[in-house]
Amino acid sequence: MADPYQWDWESTEKQINVTDWKDRFEWVEEFYASPDGEKVAAVVNQAEGEFNVCVNGETWENPFEKIWHLRFSPDNRLAAIVSDSGEWTVAVDGEPWENRFGYVWNMKFNPKGDAIAVSFQQDMKYGLSLNDAPWEETFLHATDPVLSEDGLHTAASVQVVSVGEAEIHKFQEGTISAAMDGVVWDKPFVNVWGKAISPDGVHLAAEVRLNLYDYTIAVNGVPWPKTYAGVWEPVFHPLTHEVFAPVRIQGKWTMARNADIAWNNRYCQLWHSVFSPDSKKLAAIVSPSFGRWTIAVDDVPWAQTFGDLVTDLTFSPDSRRIAAVIKDQDNWSIVADGQAWKNTFDMVWKPIFNPDGNMVASKIDKNGKKGFAVNDRILEFQCEDAWPPAFSPDGSKILLRSVENGIYFRRIIPVSELNIQ
The tens digit of pLDDT for each residue in 67-89 reads 999 999 999 999 999 999 999 99
Calculate mean pLDDT across residues 8-34.
Answer: 96
Domain's final residue, options 44, 73, 100 = 100
DSSP 285-349: EEEEETTEEEEEETTEE-S--BSSEEEEEEE-TTSS-EEEEEEETTEEEEEETTEE-S--BSEE-
**pLDDT at site 5:** 87
Judge whether 278 lies within some domain: no
In the chain, % of residues over pLDDT 90: 94
Confidence of residue 201 (pLDDT cuts 50, 70, 90): very high
Question: pLDDT tier at 167 (50, 70, 90 boundaries)?
Answer: confident
**Do residues 351 and 314 lie in contact, with contact meaning Cβ atoms separated by under 8 Å?**
yes
What per-residue confidence (pLDDT) applies to 169? 84
Report yes or no on 369 lying in a domain.
yes
Boundary residue ending a domain (100, 122, 156): 100
For residue 87, being part of any structural domain is answered with yes
Q: What is the mean pLDDT of residues 398-410?
A: 97
CATH number at 345 reads 2.120.10.30
The predicted pLDDT at position 381 comes to: 82
Q: Is the pLDDT of residue 248 over 80?
A: yes
Q: Per the domain annotation, does 379 fall within a domain?
A: yes
Cβ neighbours of residue 155 under 8 Å, at least 6 residues apart? 128, 145, 146, 148, 178, 179, 180, 181, 195, 197, 204
What is the number of domains present in the chain? 2
* Cα(195)–Cα(187) distance, integer angstroms: 16
Indicate whether 415 belongs to any domain. yes
Q: What is the model's pLDDT at position 147?
A: 98
Q: Is residue 264 part of a domain?
A: no
Q: What is the pLDDT of residues 273-285, one digit of tens each?
A: 999 999 999 999 9
Instruction: Judge whether residue 342 has pLDDT over 60.
Output: yes
- HSE, side-chain direction, 13 A CA sphere, residue 215: 19
For 148, list phi and psi in degrees, rounded to 5: -65, 155
User: Does 106 fall in a domain?
Assistant: no
* pLDDT the model gives residue 2: 67
Give a yes or no: residue 10 inside a domain: yes
Q: What is the pLDDT of residues 304-323, one digit of tens each?
A: 999 999 999 999 999 999 99
Q: Which of 85, 100, 115 is a domain's end point?
A: 100
Range of the domain at 53: 1-100
The dihedral built from the CA positions of residue 58, 64, 65 and 71, taken in this order, carries a sign that is: negative
SS (H, E, C) 258-274: CCEECCCCCECEEEEEE
Instruction: Using the predicted structure, report yes or no on whether residue 334 has a pLDDT greater than 60.
Output: yes
pTM of the predicted structure, to 2 decimals: 0.94
3-state per-residue secondary structure call for 340-378? ECCCCECEECCCEECCCCCCEEEEEEECCEEEEEECCEE
Q: Are 107 and 97 in contact (CB under 8 A)?
A: no
